Amino acid sequence: MSAPAPDPEPLSPGLYIVATPIGNLGDITLRAIDILRRCDGVACEDTRVTGKLLKHLGISRPLWRYDDHSEPRDRERLVDSMATRSVALVSDAGTPLVSDPGYRLVNDARAQGVPVTVIPGASAAIAGLTVSGMPNDRFLFAGFLPGKDKARRETLEELAGIDATLVFYETAPRLLKSLAQIEQSLPNRDIAVARELTKMHEECRRGLAAGLIAWFEAHPPKGEIVLLVGPPPETTASGDDVDRLLLDAMQSEKPSRAAALVAKQTGRERSALYGRALELREK
Ligand code: SAM
């Protein structure tokens, strides 16, 4: 009979931020397994979800439910316990804190001088960005778009002038509405819909909004989605063209709205256009 495996060496006290897979369980890292095996306990969004992952890994550790809506007192207790205990923080999938709980916990732990260690791994935003082949020298992760129409439009208009690929998390029921608003607020952009990454039905579709809307109307999307919007096309509008567009728009709109409209038309920075609109109005 072989001797039982020795108990793993305990970790030094502190907070360990552990990324977990976004679909394919094979994406767990060796280091994540090691930390989950050796920690004193795991703070997680949903004990059932994390319990299943640990069971799959053959690990048994105490699980403590934690999210950013947990009572401040509970967070304080958890942070205090890190003076003597090693706590792993995980979310349901991917990297904690990225549109997931953990920001307050990490911030408070750092403020208390608790050692904080990251165990990096999968994140849907980066997986979507890389698989899409969209420009990635500059990108802006903007989380989930708001659910309400007006707020969604305003958010997209605010982002329209940014010279970078925009990365959003999206849900299947809202995808068509978001694509329709992108078509209006950010016309002529290259778009990618990266769906069910690392899972059986993984797909990534690229195109203009109109083509993607037609496709997803015919093939209603399911599952989890990263939505990417390419940077504004290179503008060819000269300064004179821009002034003319601003003056035309200001016949019916306030300078701020005129700047937003011309930003969409030309891909130029909205704040600079707003400044120019005010100058033109003074003349
Ligand atoms: N913290 C996680 C991360 O780093 O990936 C993201 C958590 S956020 C609450 C969940 C969202 O991430 C989903 O609604 C979806 O937009 C995106 N997502 C997660 N897994 C995905 C996958 N396998 N394929 C595409 N998108 C995914």
The answer, yes or no, to whether residue 275 has pLDDT greater than 70, is yes
What's the mean per-residue pLDDT of the chain? 94
Model confidence over 112-157: pLDDT tens digits? 999 999 999 999 999 999 999 999 999 999 999 999 999 999 999 9
Q: 192 and 110: one domain?
A: no
Tell me if 35 is assigned to some domain.
yes
3 state SS of 68: coil
Tell me if 161 is assigned to some domain.
yes
Q: Closest by alpha carbon to 180, among 151, 209, 219?
A: 209
Last residue of a domain, one of 85, 100, 122: 122
pTM recorded for the entire structure: 0.84
Q: In the chain, count H helices and then E strands.
A: 11, 10
- Are 242 and 270 in contact by the 8 Å Cβ rule? The answer is no
The count of other CB atoms within 10 Å of the CB of residue 282 is 6
DSSP 125: H
20 touches ligand 1 (CB under 6 Å): no
Structural domains in the chain (count): 3
- How far apart CA 33 and CA 23 sit, in angstroms, is 16
The answer, yes or no, to whether residue 1 has pLDDT greater than 60, is no
Please report, for the domain that includes residue 48, its CATH number.
3.40.1010.10
DSSP characters over 155-171:
HHHHHTT-SSEEEEEEE
169 touches ligand 1 (CB under 6 Å): yes
Q: 53 and 138: one domain?
A: no
User: How confident is the model over 81-93, as a mean pLDDT?
Assistant: 98
- Please state the atom number of ligand 1 nearest to the C-alpha of residue 202: 24
204 touches ligand 1 (CB under 6 Å): no
Tell me if 33 is assigned to some domain.
yes
Tell me if 137 is assigned to some domain.
yes
Domain, as residue range, for 261: 239-282
